[in-house]
Amino acid sequence: MRNLMPKSALVLILVAAGAISASAAGSEDDFKTAYAAAEAANKEAGKLRNQWTTTANTLAAAKKAADAGDFDKATASAKEAEALAKASIFQATSEKTRWREMEIR
Amino acid sequence: MASTIRVRATSSGETTEVQALIQHPMDSGFVKNAKGETIPPHFIQQLTFEHDGKNVFTADWGGGISKDPYVKFTFKGGKKGDELKIGWVDNKGATDTTTAKIQ
Amino acid sequence: MKLRSAIYLASAALSLALLTLASTLPSDAADKVDPVADAKAFKKFFTDKFPKVKLEDFVNGPYSMNEDLYKQWQDKEQFPPYEFSLEMGKEMFSKPFKNGKTYADCFENGGIGVRQNYPYFDAKEGKVITLELALNRCREANGEAPYSYVRDEMAALTAYMAFTSRGKPMDIKIPDDPRALAAYENGKEYFYTRRGQLNFSCATCHVQSPGERIRAEILAPALGIVNAMPIYRSEWSGMGTTSRRFTTCNSQIRGVPLSPQDDEYRNVEYYLSYVSNGLPISGPGARP
Amino acid sequence: MSDVEFSATRRLILQGAGAVALIGLGNLPFLTSALAAANDKYPEEAFKQKSDADVIKTLYGKTAEPSDKVKMDAPEIAENGAVVPISVSTTLTDVTSVAFLVSENPNVLIAKYNIPAGTLPNVANRIKMAKTSNVTVLVEAGGKLYSASKEVKVTVGGCGG
């Protein structure tokens, strides 16, 4: 199973990691902004028929933390969710042509 | 409601091979459901086979038998057209019985 | 070819830019849709990869690839775990709806021995009709509520219809209609497109790695995989439809599944069934 | 069969199961007679034991001796722990019972099969395995106890079964 993770996966991870490190201490407003951005990105991924379960889970975690009043954690989760959603968008977009590399012909 | 018991019994002349498949959850009592609650034990404890008024096989089962349990055994005798009687009882007291013709 | 390697080497941002360009090019410039050639290449790929496995045996999934598994399967087939579902399907199939009609009234030959013709392309609607969809449409046309595509009733009905068609070669037709070809091509694209956080396509598991273990499961070859549907999976402790298989595959790779019988799922079933043409129907199947 | 006998047999089988709703059990006369004829009490205690040794002690009260006349057929690697096909056959004579044990399961005893005279000592069944474990089959023959064991690898546990 070594070869199951192609190069593009690395790219996706890098994209995600970059966005996570940008997280900062947050207020409720920061959270709301971050959450809205994550939701918007995930909605776009949905239009591309490629949402990730991890995005939904991370969004849920963000909401839960916010409900508990932990806006630092909530904001960080929301930003992570946005990064995941963006990675899924990138994946869907690049696969529009890349899928043919795998095709049996 | 159809019987929970399916039986295939085939006579080779000298012996009869019996296979049975039973519809039953066979919950062991060690498994949790999606909510994290333990599913209480619910399994068949005893299964009997009778041919010509005589017991030919008894199974004593615990919760370690697979869901929809299966068993196969062979006994001497039994002719085509003979009847087999099969019955089970589980740990909650539910039972089912059926008869099957030897093929 | 040049475009492809360029994308491969480009950075994320750069490739995104390139891709925007690429998507404006006609995507089938070098790739005329040729299902006949596809099916031939698909079979050759698997028979080359598994020279010991007979073509018709690919429908037995992972059992065709591993002796120890094959024996366990043979043991199970003596009294298969889908037996109860099959009986339930037979009973349901013959029981009249409230209006007195039955499923048999909705299908050619009364629904017996016709599994190999599904899915088919419906020229009137311009879309692919699967057996599961046809069954629910039959229910609705007769005033009955449709069944869930992933639950036991649908599995039982398709199990019975598959059983009456066992051994018949899969016989999917692609009419000379650009919409049918487009549906086929869309199904193929879905099959090979990587998705989910794990970045797997259907092909990652079922073309590149059949016979291998992923975590604990032995992967089935894509060739003939639909011929065995529906399946009793020990892992599920129960039956599953083609819809259930597609949606759970998606969630396992951390992708949000589409709704059962969405266009992509019907199209990928159309593609997979077409490239498995000639292989026998073996459903209902039993799987680990 | 009288009601008294009937309820006595029921109590025997269902000991510990508590109150039982005896509804819709139309076919019971045969069942109870069959169970009574088996002349075997359900070995409730043995099914609760947590080790091979305790099962053997509770069930038979004697020790088992490994024998190459006991043949167990079990997979090397179970395709799924929820359904592991296992069978036994033996050339031993006067077999009165066989039993299947899985050492690593929460309850070790899986099944005991009572073999009356005239029934062959060949039994196949499907069992659950929580994880990789030694599987032992016991054969009671001529008043003695024989055994055979084999390790079966499990990659997907069957306690979900």
| Contact of B58 with B92, CB cutoff 8 Å | no
3-state SS, residue A76: helix
- The whole domain housing C120 covers 35-72+81-288
How many domains does chain C divide into?
1
How many domains does chain B divide into?
1
Number of residues that this document lists for chain B: 103
Binding site per annotation, positions of C: 106, 138, 202, 205-206, 245, 249
Phi-psi map region of B90: left, alpha, beta (phi>0 left; psi -120 to 50 alpha) = beta
The Cα C158–Cα B102 span in angstroms is: 30
- Cross-chain residue pair C72–D85, CB shorter than 8 Å: yes
* Reported pTM: 0.79
Which chains, if any, share at least 3 CB pairs under 8 A with chain D? B, C
Nearest of C131, C174, C132 to residue C150 by alpha carbon: C132
Query: For residue C31, what pLDDT band results from cuts at 50, 70 and 90?
Result: low
- Cross-chain residue pair D22–B97, CB shorter than 8 Å: no
In a domain, C30, yes or no: no
Which residues of C form the catalytic set?
A: 249
Residues in chain B with CB shorter than 8 Å from the CB of D122 are 73-74
Token pair of C52 as six digits = 């010991």
In a domain, C13, yes or no: no
Q: Does D157 touch chain B (CB under 8 A)?
A: no
- Cross-chain residue pair C237–B67, CB shorter than 8 Å: yes
Respond yes or no on whether the N-terminal peptide bond of residue C119 is cis (omega within 30° of 0). yes
- Name the pairing type of β-strands D109-114 and B54-61: antiparallel
Tell me the DSSP string of C76-113.
Answer: HHTS-TTHHHHHHHHHHHHS--TTS--GGGGSGGGGTT
pLDDT of C28 reads 46
- Cross-chain residue pair D80–C213, CB shorter than 8 Å: no
Query: For residue D35, what pLDDT band results from cuts at 50, 70 and 90?
Result: low
Give A68 to chain C, closest Cα distance, Å. Answer: 27
- Cross-chain residue pair A50–C195, CB shorter than 8 Å: yes
CATH number at residue B95: 2.60.40.10
Q: Does B6 touch chain C (CB under 8 A)?
A: yes
Q: What is the pLDDT of residues C54-96, one digit of tens each?
A: 999 999 998 988 888 888 898 888 899 999 999 999 999 999 9
Query: For residue D15, what pLDDT band results from cuts at 50, 70 and 90?
Result: very low
CB atoms within 10 A of CB C78: 13
Q: Does C78 touch chain B (CB under 8 A)?
A: yes
Taking an 8 Å Cβ-Cβ cutoff, which residues of chain D contact chain C? 75-80, 82-85, 87, 124, 126, 155-156, 160-161
Q: Quick one: CA dihedral B57, B58, B62, B63, positive or negative?
A: positive
ipTM associated with this complex: 0.74
Q: What is the pLDDT of residues C88-134, one digit of tens each?
A: 999 999 999 999 999 999 999 999 999 999 999 999 999 999 999 99
CA geometry: angle at D78 spanning D74 and D83, to 5°? 90
Regions in chain B scoring below 70 on pLDDT: 1
- Name the pairing type of β-strands D144-154 and D77-78: parallel
Q: How many CA atoms lie within 13 A of B4 on its CB side?
A: 19
| Interface mutation vs chain B, best among C72, C78, C79, most B CBs within 10 Å | C79
Nearest of A105, A88, A104, A79 to residue A8 by alpha carbon: A88
Residue of A nearest to C214 (CA): A1
- Cross-chain residue pair C194–A4, CB shorter than 8 Å: no
The Cα C257–Cα A94 span in angstroms is: 20
Q: What is the mean pLDDT of chain A?
A: 83
What's the per-residue H, E or C state across C227-287? HHCCEEECCCCEEECHHHHHHHHHHHCCECCCCCCCHHHHHHHHHHHHHCCCCECCCCEEE
- Statement: residue C15 has pLDDT above 50: no
- The whole domain housing B82 covers 5-101
Q: Quick one: CA dihedral A22, A27, A33, A38, positive or negative?
A: positive
CATH number at residue C140: 1.10.760.10
| Interface mutation vs chain C, best among A59, A86, A98, A101, most C CBs within 10 Å | A98
Say which CATH superfamily domain D47-154 falls into.
SoxY domain (2.60.40.2470)
| Contact of D87 with D103, CB cutoff 8 Å | no
| Interface mutation vs chain A, best among C20, C40, C193, C212, most A CBs within 10 Å | C193
